[in-house]
């Protein structure tokens, strides 16, 4: 069994209208699913992705009006978004400057051009030149970003832990990742960031683990990340559920999210992971031409539609 790469990442927003505007109009991603948190139906769950919501392109947000995250270890600390080419990186830097958006400088990190930036709430992101690796892009023809510069999907996800060994043991011995290399942290050369690969490897299939024992523990909040999901073929889902139980890894057991099936587990330092299937996908209940234009609920919530939708604030 192999995990193929990053499936999606779910973060937290305390300002869902600004969040929607930023990721569709500034970043140019497509809202492919407008739904609610299935465990807290008072909150939106918004999914931004490529033109058809391909696995590996989803950046999603829970709408929770809570205090801002306290930065620290035992957390996901940066999300990379893949683009292609030095010209594209330069285009984005100019784009951010025109919008007075918080960003760093283009620099080579771990052998790839990288441009760190933040959304309006302080969510820590970065663009990375993927060199054309990963699934073929599905550009969105209604994006305000030119096709050649659009986000191609999720790149490496960076987590911070106080101790490497317990996390590395789970990543390699349970989840089957490969420890490939390490590099100095761009903000502190004394800190090492360890790269774990999935599947065929490449920037769409990497988890980067920064070892930062001197940081306080993070406190989850707005502009923070809730969890990262790893991608598995549909026909391996049951085997992953059996493997986690056989290896006595505490987990959620099978969870059917309707658009994909999930398994949740916490690695030993406390970061929440998910294993998610590739299908059936976001087109199972909507026409691909109109994805994200209305509130869509999984079947088990549909009978409560009127009550749920009446409590949601408009975001457009």
**What is the average per-residue pLDDT within 63-73?**
97
240: three-class secondary structure by DSSP: helix
Q: What pLDDT digit, counting tens, does each position of 237-271 carry?
A: 999 999 999 999 999 999 999 999 999 999 999 99
Q: What local confidence, expressed as pLDDT, does residue 177 receive?
A: 98
Q: What local confidence, expressed as pLDDT, does residue 137 receive?
A: 84
Q: What local confidence, expressed as pLDDT, does residue 175 receive?
A: 98
Residue 234: pLDDT band with limits 50, 70, 90: very high
Q: What is the dihedral of CA 122, 18, 91, 117, to 10 degrees?
A: 10
Rounded Cα gap, residues 278 and 288, in angstroms: 16
Backbone torsion region of residue 146, taken as left when φ is above 0, otherwise alpha when ψ lies between -120 and 50, otherwise beta: beta
Cβ atoms of 79 and 61 closer than 8 Å:
no
Neighbours of 221 (CB within 10 A): 15
Residue 287: pLDDT band with limits 50, 70, 90: very high
Q: What local confidence, expressed as pLDDT, does residue 208 receive?
A: 98
Judge whether residue 311 has pLDDT over 90.
yes
Q: What local confidence, expressed as pLDDT, does residue 136 receive?
A: 84
Q: What local confidence, expressed as pLDDT, does residue 252 receive?
A: 98
Q: What pLDDT digit, counting tens, does each position of 44-64 carry?
A: 999 999 999 999 999 999 999
Cβ atoms of 63 and 46 closer than 8 Å:
yes
Mean of all residue pLDDT scores within the chain: 97
Rounded Cα gap, residues 114 and 15, in angstroms: 27
Judge whether residue 139 has pLDDT over 90.
yes
| pLDDT > 70 fraction of the chain, expressed in percent and rounded | 100
Q: What pLDDT digit, counting tens, does each position of 13-38 carry?
A: 999 999 999 999 999 999 999 999 99
Q: What local confidence, expressed as pLDDT, does residue 28 receive?
A: 98
């Amino acid at each position: 069994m192999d995990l193929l790469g990053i499936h999606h990442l779910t973060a937290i927003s305390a300002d869902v209208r600004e969040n929607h505007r930023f990721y569709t109009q500034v970043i140019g991603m497509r809202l492919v699913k407008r739904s609610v948190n299935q465990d807290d139906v008072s909150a939106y769950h918004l999914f931004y992705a490529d033109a058809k919501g391909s696995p590996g392109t989803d950046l999603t947000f829970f709408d929770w009006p809570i205090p801002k995250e306290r930065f620290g270890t035992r957390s996901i600390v940066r999300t990379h978004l893949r683009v292609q080419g030095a010209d594209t990186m330069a285009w984005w830097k100019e784009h951010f400057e025109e919008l007075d958006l918080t960003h760093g400088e283009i620099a080579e990190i771990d052998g790839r051009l990288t441009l760190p930036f933040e959304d309006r709430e302080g969510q820590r992101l970065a663009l990375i030149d993927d060199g054309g690796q990963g699934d073929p892009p599905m550009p969105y023809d209604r994006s305000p970003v030119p096709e050649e510069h659009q986000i191609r999907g999720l790149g490496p996800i960076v987590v911070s832990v106080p101790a490497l060994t317990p996390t590395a043991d789970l990543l390699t011995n349970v989840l089957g990742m490969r420890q490939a290399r390490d590099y100095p942290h761009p903000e502190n050369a004394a800190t090492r960031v360890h790269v774990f690969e999935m599947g065929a490897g490449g920037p769409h299939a990497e988890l980067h683990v920064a070892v930062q024992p001197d940081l306080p523990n993070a406190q989850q909040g707005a502009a923070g990340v809730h969890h990262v999901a790893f991608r598995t073929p549909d026909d391996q889902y049951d085997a992953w559920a059996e493997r986690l139980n056989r290896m006595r890894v505490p987990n959620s057991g099978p969870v059917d999210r309707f658009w994909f099936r999930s398994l949740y587990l916490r690695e030993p330092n406390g970061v929440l992971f998910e294993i998610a299937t590739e299908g059936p996908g976001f087109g199972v209940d909507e026409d691909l031409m109109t994805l994200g234009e209305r509130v869509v609920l999984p079947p088990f919530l549909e009978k409560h539609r009127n009550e749920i939708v009446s409590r949601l604030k408009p975001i457009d």
